[in-house]
Amino acid sequence: MIPKELIQKVRRIEITTKRVVDSVLSGGYHSAFKGKGMEFSEVREYVEGDDIRSIDWNVTARMGAPYVKKHIEERELTVMLMVDASASGSFGTVNKFKGEVAVELCALLAFSAIKNNDRVGLIIFSDDIERYIPPQKGRNHVLYVIRELLYFKPKNTGTDIDKALSYLNLVQTKKAVVFLVSDFFSPPFENALRVSARRHDLIACPVTDPRETEFPDAGLVELEDAETGETVLVDSGSTAFRTFYARKTAERREKVSSLFTANGIDEIAIATETEYVDALVKFFRKRERMLGR
């Protein structure tokens, strides 16, 4: 049985998300991604300004007047949501946990997809593949995906992006639009990332919290790695420590971002302290300009 509170939470997410999709994201999503190509729709009479290369000479000869072929974009896409469910997602110091932001982001993307009649699939991963839902269409399917994201309890606490992307390449043989949502605290994953970027339209969505880049002065603090359980005692009152911490986290983030750039992967930076809708709108507009739509 699904708890009543969970059903209510899914419903609240649906209402909020659909409002944003209808008012802000719908047109941007449609323009940001290419369809499979162009397919023939019908023929119609030639009008001044039509491209003469589109004239259907067989119909023209039969009708005794010029006719042109009309094509429409074959729109249907497959959207795969890859969501990091490792223990570090339970961290958050501002408005929400990173994991909560990831779920809401995925809800927006899923409802944007079904509004455009696209299929949506889900891979939840830690340092193993925790859950796979094959792509399908429709509101009920998306509500099922969101319910899984909210309700699912991963067995493991670590992160293995290499394994997750290798699994994606195994189960999704046709090209898909893939949103990889993670904080990217993972062992090396460059090889699988490179392969996935060649096969799919891969978009990285790093989710961060401000305390991961700037440590406050709070005296002696015991830190615990949520994924490994390891602990360390640090003196956050030390300027040298805070400087070292900021430099190391900036270096790590730059290394990951450079990896995306080197493989032609777009990045949507999501943070717990900012509005992720703005980041999505900015990304869609950038894509729209690139595609010349």
- Residues of the chain under the 50 pLDDT cut: 37-38
158-195: per-residue pLDDT in tens?
Answer: 999 999 999 999 999 999 999 999 999 999 999 999 99
Q: What is the pLDDT of residue 40?
A: 53
User: Which segments of the chain are extended strands (E)?
Assistant: 37-45, 67-74, 78-84, 119-125, 129-136, 177-182, 201-208, 220-224, 231-235, 266-267, 270-271
At residue 176, what is the residue type? A
Angle, helices 276-291 vs 98-115, to 10°: value is 40
Can you give the pLDDT at residue 181?
96
Helix (H, G, I), strand (E, B) or coil at 158: coil
Adjacent-strand bridge partners of 84: 125
Residue type, 254: E
Segment holding 5, helix H or strand E: helix 4-20
Instruction: For domain 77-207+266-291, say whether CATH 3.40.50.410 is its number.
Output: yes
Domain range summary for the chain, segments of one domain joined by +: 38-74, 77-207+266-291
- With vertex at residue 274, the alpha carbon angle to CA 268 and CA 277, rounded to the nearest 5 degrees, is 55
Give the N- to C-terminal CA distance of the chain in Å, as an integer.
Answer: 46
User: Taking the model in full, what pTM does it have?
Assistant: 0.80
Q: What is the pLDDT of residue 255?
A: 94
